[in-house]
A and B are shown apart, each in its own frame.
Chain A
Amino acid sequence: MLLFVNFANDFMQYKFLQEALWVSMVLGIGCGIVGCFIILRGLSLMGDAISHAVIPGVAISYMLNINYFIGAVIFGIMAALGMGFIKENSKIKSDTSIGIVFSAFLALGILLITKIQSSIDLNNILFGNVLTIKNEERTLTYLAIAGVLLTIFLFYKELLLTTFDPVMAKASGMKVKLINYILMTILTVITVVSLQTVGAILVVAMLITPASTAYLLTNNFKTMLLLSALLGAISSVIGLVVSVSYNLPSGVVIVLTSAVLFLIAFILSPRDGLIINYLKTKKL
């Protein structure tokens, strides 16, 4: 409790803390919502891959002195397309094509960053630091999240149907491939803007952990979206408070917080928790 009182004092005093808290919360909400589609489509590995594949884009953006967002999104989309292309045009399985492409992109990224020896802090890209986020980046983050949420709202029924039953959707004339590309773009954009808070290594956790926790707690998709957004926001807030109070890296603490929430749901969920499942089998 004292922790939160101290944080509240600092929070009122320092504007950068207020800004960091809002950004983290909004990112938590955005990742939570996108994550629901990702886990239900079995794309968790894809999310992880894209977050690593954007790194060369970040490096090249610094070299060209343009906003890192542009380079990162381009490389993220290139990676997503590359993975799909290998899978569709060879007998290589999906997880293998993802592994090949993202490790190549990651290696290229690390090579560029070491070679250019610039002001890029590899640590910040890999692990994020929400406290150092710049004004311009913050605005970009809000705009990007707003764009992502608006796209999901507009294409909600197409995204839902193609996630649940893509074959029926395709047979009924829905543009399943186009919807997949839209989702890949959304995934790339949200990953790139999350680099600031949790970094490339851990961003996948922001996407899949709150969504998985929500998945264990409800059998209703809309409730899952809301819960996941809420859990994402809560993880971000608690994570930030703890990280600031104990001077720990914010991304790491946010991810650990969401993992703890997942663990609680995993054990105690009244629907699918370990305990309830154990009691059910005992009854039988």
Chain B
Amino acid sequence: MLRIENMSVIYPNGVRAISDVHLELEEGNIYGIIGPNGGGKSSFLKGILNLVHHTGNVYFNGQSIQNIAKQIAYIEQKENIDKTFPITVYQCVLMGTYPGLGLFKRPGEREKNAVEEALRQLKLYDYKNVQIGELSGGQFQRVLLARALVQESILLILDEPFVGIDINNETIIINQLKELARSGKTILIIHHDMETVEAYFDNLIMINKRVIASGKVSEVFNQENFEETFNNYTPTFNLQFKNTKI
């Protein structure tokens, strides 16, 4: 269980990105995270990951999150990664094994086999010798997921993985994530497409400077919570809340 106790992220300039988060997230689930731009979604994830200064505590199965850092796969927004970097798909995925290897250790047969397997799983084998800059956005997102697979992570955190990719890539990725959740991994995903929320996630965390609602999608994804999360914005797209209270 991922347990977040009283976490707030306040930046040095005094901006309070997110406050007083208390959450208990069960293993083997995919949690979608939605909220407006500037609502603190990324800060929430960065707080969990200790990438930014925060108050409060984060535990995974009773131990401090820092103790299991090697088994956390964080996939940031792919636009933040330098795609002109001179590495191939294979080398990029192989880097996922680096955190788990000790100091001075090099990837061996076991790690290389894991890379080959992950490339096959994500239908990337034909691209293994291609430089990452030559891939489409969706293919590159799959490479980053393959890297997370070989990391043998127990907690996967993805920041907007479906932005700017086509439906084929999106399907491959979400199916892989669902399979990972079935095998017991805990997965957190920042998501923007409200129309796929119900299809992709069992659980949802709605954030706007604080946690507005959290729980089963069927229980929390309703118009009342939606409007509170998105500052009284009423959706103009075709969003059918199954559990609407209004």
* Chain A residues packing against B (C-beta within 8 Å): 40, 154, 157-158, 160-161, 163-165, 167-174, 215, 218-221, 223-224
Give the residues in chain A near B76, CB-CB below 8 Å: 165, 167-168
User: Given the complex of chains A and B, what is the CA–CA distance between A223 and B99 in angstroms?
Assistant: 23
**Complex A-B: 29 CB contacts under 8 Å:** A154-B104, A157-B101, A157-B107, A160-B98, A163-B85, A164-B82, A164-B92, A165-B76, A167-B74, A168-B75, A169-B98, A170-B49, A171-B49, A171-B69, A171-B157, A172-B69, A172-B70, A172-B73, A172-B99, A173-B66, A173-B69, A173-B70, A174-B99, A215-B86, A218-B86, A219-B131, A220-B86, A220-B87, A221-B87
B80 in the interface, Cβ–Cβ < 8 Å?
A: yes
B186 in the interface, Cβ–Cβ < 8 Å?
A: no
From 165 to 218 in chain B, residues with beta carbon under 8 angstroms from any chain A beta carbon are none
* Shortest Cβ-Cβ A-B pairs, 9 listed: A173-B69, A171-B74, A219-B131, A172-B99, A171-B49, A157-B98, A161-B98, A221-B86, A219-B86
Knowing A157-B101, A173-B66, A221-B91, the reply to whether A164 touches B85 (Cβ < 8 A) is yes
Task: Determine which of A171, A174, A219, A224 lies in contact with B51 in the assembled complex, contact meaning CB atoms within 8 Å.
Answer: A171
Knowing A172-B73, A218-B86, A219-B131, the reply to whether A167 touches B95 (Cβ < 8 A) is no
Give the residues in chain A near B73, CB-CB below 8 Å: 168, 172
User: Given the complex of chains A and B, what is the CA–CA distance between A160 and B98 in angstroms?
Assistant: 10
Give the residues in chain A near B141, CB-CB below 8 Å: none
Give the residues in chain A near B107, CB-CB below 8 Å: 157
Interface hub of B66, B88, B99, B131 (most chain A Cβ within 10 A): B99
Interface hub of B70, B86, B107, B151 (most chain A Cβ within 10 A): B86
A140 smallest CB distance to B (angstroms)? 26
From 119 to 141 in chain B, residues with beta carbon under 8 angstroms from any chain A beta carbon are 131, 133
Q: Is the CB of A167 within 8 A of B86?
A: no
Q: Is the CB of B104 within 8 A of A224?
A: no
Give the residues in chain A near B245, CB-CB below 8 Å: none
Add 18 more A-B contacts to A219-B86, A219-B87 (CB < 8 A): A40-B85, A157-B101, A157-B106, A161-B98, A163-B85, A164-B82, A168-B73, A168-B147, A171-B49, A172-B74, A173-B72, A173-B99, A174-B99, A220-B87, A220-B91, A221-B87, A221-B91, A223-B86
Q: For the side of the interface on B, what is the size category?
A: 20 to 34
Least CB separation from A217: chain B residue: B86
B81 in the interface, Cβ–Cβ < 8 Å?
A: yes
Give the residues in chain A near B104, CB-CB below 8 Å: 154
Give the residues in chain B near A171, CB-CB below 8 Å: 49-51, 69, 72, 74, 157
User: Given the complex of chains A and B, what is the CA–CA distance between A219 and B85 in angstroms?
Assistant: 8
Give the residues in chain A near B99, CB-CB below 8 Å: 161, 169, 172-174
Task: Determine which of B70, B74, B86, B157 lies in contact with A224 in the assembled complex, contact meaning CB atoms within 8 Å.
Answer: B86
User: Given the complex of chains A and B, what is the CA–CA distance between A153 and B156 in angstroms?
Assistant: 30
Give the residues in chain A near B70, CB-CB below 8 Å: 172-173
Give the residues in chain A near B66, CB-CB below 8 Å: 173
Least CB separation from B147: chain A residue: A168
User: Given the complex of chains A and B, what is the CA–CA distance between A161 and B74 in angstroms?
Assistant: 13
Give the residues in chain A near B81, CB-CB below 8 Å: 164-165
User: Given the complex of chains A and B, what is the CA–CA distance between A173 and B103 in angstroms?
Assistant: 13
A284 smallest CB distance to B (angstroms)? 16
Task: Determine which of B103, B106, B133, B151 lies in contact with A172 in the assembled complex, contact meaning CB atoms within 8 Å.
Answer: B151
A277 smallest CB distance to B (angstroms)? 14
User: Given the complex of chains A and B, what is the CA–CA distance between A168 and B78 in angstroms?
Assistant: 11
Least CB separation from A36: chain B residue: B86
A225 smallest CB distance to B (angstroms)? 10
User: Given the complex of chains A and B, what is the CA–CA distance between A168 and B107 in angstroms?
Assistant: 18
User: Given the complex of chains A and B, what is the CA–CA distance between A1 and B133 in angstroms?
Assistant: 41
A215 smallest CB distance to B (angstroms)? 7
User: Given the complex of chains A and B, what is the CA–CA distance between A163 and B51 in angstroms?
Assistant: 17
B213 smallest CB distance to A (angstroms)? 26
Q: Is the CB of B51 within 8 A of A170?
A: yes
